[in-house]
Amino acid sequence: MANTRLVDRVGTASGTLAILLLAVGLYLGLAVAPPDFQMGDVYRIFYIHLPSWFGVALAYLTSFVASILYLFKRQPRFDQWALAGAEVGVVFNITGLITGSLWGRPTWGVYWTWDPRLTTTAIMLVTFAGYLVLRGFLEDPEARARVSALVAIVGFFNVPIVYYSVKWWRTLHQQPSSPNTVDASMVTPLRVMGFAFLCLCTYLMCRRYALAEAESAAEREDLQMGVANG
Amino acid sequence: MTELRRIWIVVWKDALTERRTKAAFNAMAFFAGLVLLIFAFAIGPDIPVSGPAGQGLLEYIAPGLLWVAILLTGVLALGRSFQVEMENGALEGLRLYPGDRRAIGAGKIIANVLTLVAMEALVVPIAGILYSIDLWSKLPALAGVFLLATLGFAAVGTFYAALTANLRAREVMLPLLLFPVMVPVVLAAVKATFLVLNGDLMGELSAWVRLLVVFDAVFVTVCTLAFGFVLEE
């Protein structure tokens, strides 16, 4: 029980922090930071776009690590963390792809290009969406946890290989942004938004984990009722 | 040594079943031929490629079409390889084999490579005839590319086929899980096939072959090692 309370407390704290940081970050990014010298105000979507990918990284990494831990420890809570990570990751992945497309249209002239980063993130989305679909088809909780853990691990291993293979195939995306390539006046709002999204991601994962825990408790209860009633 | 023998026994069992029933092979061969025909209908045989090549569009994009046909067909064969084990509790029997379960995984992978190679040996000449590709002078290099790509395809495909064999919706789930992981293999195989067929002026072929080798090494290892977890009761 103590464990659950810690998760809930972390969830509430990171959720509160996320709201504060989002407010500050959006104000800094939309009102204070100067327009880009080439892209004008359009670039401001970047304060949502890049932080979304931070969330994706944190969430999928959680899912990957939890899946490995599940295979070796066989505790349901690792499976619940893996589910929470995959589901929150898919949400941020979709956000990242949509904001990227909206940004790509005015700056590159197209919504979509076959650039390594775009292609890899799309494949990542399909992989983890497949993971979530798969879970829906497996009824036995232990088989579900084991099979989906294997799928998450292999899917995660595949990401760098897809990235490099598509990179050889073609390349167009601008260099990834880092504090060195971004003007100082834009770094602060970006950092704030980055932390805001990480907090938001943590908050969502904690809540999703608690939900998964409740679901599996309900599942067990159903099973016991079924056994008791013959 | 005993491990190798275990692997061999699984391969032999699968090859024998397939030789006697020809269930997977017959279905695959006709399906693949049909897919190649459909592509020809969808694209049309008469569109020229702009440029000096003098090729038709169909001939030019043949490597891509060929690999899509192989992927769609192969997924049927891979799905079958564990579906047959679900009947009459055959998988239980396999689990009872003494020794390491990873041997079963390795054996299944090799058996699937054999089935897929047999299918390709039929499909590639058919594609050559239908799309008027000049294959014969390039067969050795082509065979190398196909073997490497097929190994990676079979390794990952066998792994996911085993994971999804129990599901009601396995026909949907197998490609849904498998195709995203196949992206590097498809990219490399199509590029390498294209370079073999059309000449490798820039010397790019070795990079794609290397990608296939790396993919095979990573996924044959990961999938074989993980097979102990896959076959758990």
pLDDT in tens, A145-172: 999 999 999 999 888 888 888 877 765 4
- Poorest-confidence range of A31-40, B14-23, B28-37, B63-72? A31-40
Closest CA to A215 of A83, A69, A71: A83
Domain count for chain B, please give it.
Answer: 1
- Given pLDDT bands bounded at 50, 70 and 90, which one contains residue A230? low
Alpha helices, DSSP H, located in chain A: 2-27, 46-73, 76-108, 116-137, 141-169, 184-228
Q: Write the CA distances from B116 to B15, B123, B129, B215, integer angstroms.
A: 12, 10, 20, 18
Cα atoms in the Cβ-side hemisphere of radius 13 Å centred on A34 = 7
pLDDT recorded at residue A170: 66
Q: Which residues pair with B56 in a beta bridge?
A: B48
Question: What is the model's pLDDT at position A57?
Answer: 93
Nearest to B187 among A138, A154, A169 (CB): A169
> Chain A residue closest to B213 (CA)?
A161
Residue B6 has pLDDT above 50, yes or no: yes
Report CB contact under 8 Å: A162, B183.
yes
User: Is the CB of A127 less than 8 angstroms away from the CB of B181?
Assistant: yes
Overall residue count recorded for chain B in this entry: 233
Amino acid (1-letter code) at residue B155: A
Identify the domain containing residue B165 by its residue range.
2-230
pLDDT-derived band at A173, boundaries 50, 70, 90: low
Residue B191 CB burial class (10 angstroms; 0-12, 13-18, ≥19): buried
Q: Is the pLDDT of residue A174 over 60?
A: no
SS3 B48: strand
Alpha carbon distance, N-terminus to C-terminus of chain B: 27
Give the residue among B38, B26, B205 at the shortest CA–CA distance from B131. B38
Chain A contact set for B177 (CB, 8 A): 127, 130, 134, 151, 155
* Residue whose C-alpha is closest to residue A89's, from A205, A219, A203: A205
Buried b (16+ CB within 10 A) or exposed e, A144-179: bbbbbbbbbbbbbebbebbbebbebbeeeeeeeeee
Task: Quote the CA–CA distance of B25 and B23 in Å, as a whole number.
Answer: 6
pLDDT band at A117 (very low <50, low <70, confident <90, very high): confident
- Residues of chain A with C-beta less than 8 angstroms from the C-beta of B167: 134, 137-138
User: B70 and B120 in contact (C-beta within 8 Å)?
Assistant: yes
A123, A166, A168 member nearest B180 (Cβ):
A123
Phi-psi region of A218 (alpha: psi -120 to 50; beta: other; left: phi over 0): alpha
- Residue A4 confidence class, pLDDT cut points 50, 70, 90: low
Of all residues in chain B, the percent with pLDDT exceeding 90 is 45
Average pLDDT, chain A: 88
Does the beta-carbon distance from B184 to A151 stay under 8 Å?
no
The CA distance from A191 to B69, in Å, is: 47
CA-CA distance, B74 to B153, in Å (whole number)?
A: 8
Pick the closest to residue A88 from A7, A193, A201 (CA basis): A201
Is A138 within 8 Å of B188 when comparing Cβ atoms?
Answer: no
What is the mean pLDDT of the segment spanning A135-139? 90
Which residues touch A159 (CB under 8 Å, ≥6 apart)?
A120, A123, A124, A127
A159-168, A186-195, B190-199: least confidently modelled range: A159-168
| CA angle centred on A128, ends A126 and A131, rounded to 5° | 110
Res A172: pLDDT: 46
Q: Give the per-residue pLDDT at A33.
A: 84
The model's confidence at residue B117, banded by pLDDT at 50, 70 and 90, is very high
Specify the pLDDT at position A20.
Answer: 95
Q: Pseudo-torsion of CA A89, A95, A96, A100, nearest 10°?
A: 160
Q: What is the rounded CA–CA span in Å between residue B60 and residue B52?
A: 12
CA A173 to centroid of chain Cα atoms:
21
**pLDDT at residue B185 tops 90:** yes
pLDDT tens-digit series, residues A31-81 = 888 887 777 788 888 899 999 999 999 999 999 999 999 999 999 999 999
User: Nearest CA of chain A to the CA of B192: how many Å?
Assistant: 12
Contact yes or no for A130 and B180 at CB 8 A: yes
Cα gap B182→B211, rounded to integer Å: 12
* Cα gap B94→B78, rounded to integer Å: 17
For residue A16, give the nearest of A198, A199, A201 by alpha carbon.
A199
The pLDDT of residue A123 is above 80: yes
pLDDT over threshold 70, residue B54: no
Higher pLDDT, B13 or A169: B13
The structure tokens listed for B154 are 């079979």
A178 pLDDT band, cuts 50/70/90, is low
Q: At what angle do helices A46-73 and A116-137 cross, to 10 degrees?
A: 50
pTM for the structure as a whole: 0.86
**What CA–CA distance (Å, rounded) separates B223 from B159?**
6
Judged by CB atoms closer than 8 Å, whether chains meet at A143 and B159 is answered as: no
